[in-house]
Homo-oligomer: A and B are copies of this chain.
Amino acid sequence: MDSCVAAATAVAEGWEPAFLHFTYGQRTQERELKAFYDIADFYGVVRRLVIELPHLAEIGGSALTDVSCPVPEGRLNRDEIPVTYVPFRNANFLAAATSWAEVLGARRIYIGAVEEDGSGYPDCREVFLRAFDEVIALGTRPDSSIRIQAPLIHSTKAEIVLRGVELEAPLHLTWSCYRNSVRACGCCDSCLLRWRGFVQAGVPDPIPYETIPLGKEER
């Protein structure tokens, strides 16, 4: 959903988008890939690239990719870094995105990173993204002018939902669940974050759920 609203923002700001998706052994990667193509079709995007980063799963260390490491039932607002953290994931994404951007001649990389809502991932913070901008400026050709745009970085999930509605983003085509691929489980961290966002925004979530997560965020 965050990627979708970030893309909607890029379109609204007048950029011609190229869409980049990563499969990295995440449990629901087929479902996420379908969402990627659905949203690319929605926006009529011609330049699409799917990059496989299987080493992120091979390296392991995360419940998102390591099937021996169970996805915890959601308990939001914890202080520690959650076990769904894939070490340095966004740096791997941004490095590949920058390589592609340099070849395309693209000038902006939009990413749906969100610092708020307590996800607790160090590579989702604005200070990290600004440091990566510096790496891009120093590590690419002098005539490239690629910068990272993170339009949702300080948004809550409710604000992202509202922004998506305002921009007429295809939220019904997005997918957030870490577990299932037909109906969202309604139990994992990602489902809880998403659901709470829609509830707080006062907007119905258009995707199907296995169980309605109401009240689970209090556990």
Contact = CB atoms under 8 A, between A and B. Distances in A.
Interface stretch (A120-128, A159-167, A200-208): A120-128
A36 to B, nearest CB: 15
**Chain A, interface residues (CB within 8 Å), range:** 35 or more
Given A51-B55, A55-B49, A91-B135, A99 B127 contact: no
A59 B139 contact: no
B99 A95 contact: no
Contacts of A56: 99
A56 B49 CA distance: 12
Contact of A122 (B55, B81, B139): B139
Interface in A43-85: 49, 51-56, 58-61, 81, 85
Given A52-B55, A131-B138, A98 B103 contact: no
Interface in A78-113: 81, 85-92, 94-96, 98-100, 102-103
Interface string A125-144: 10110011011101111100
A139 B135 CA distance: 13
A107 B115 CA distance: 26
A125 B125 CA distance: 26
A99 B54 CA distance: 12
Contacts of A61: 102-103
30 contacts: A49-B59, A52-B55, A53-B96, A55-B99, A55-B100, A56-B99, A59-B96, A59-B103, A86-B99, A87-B98, A87-B99, A88-B95, A88-B98, A88-B136, A88-B139, A91-B91, A92-B96, A92-B99, A95-B95, A122-B139, A123-B140, A125-B138, A127-B138, A128-B135, A131-B131, A131-B134, A132-B135, A134-B134, A134-B135, A135-B135
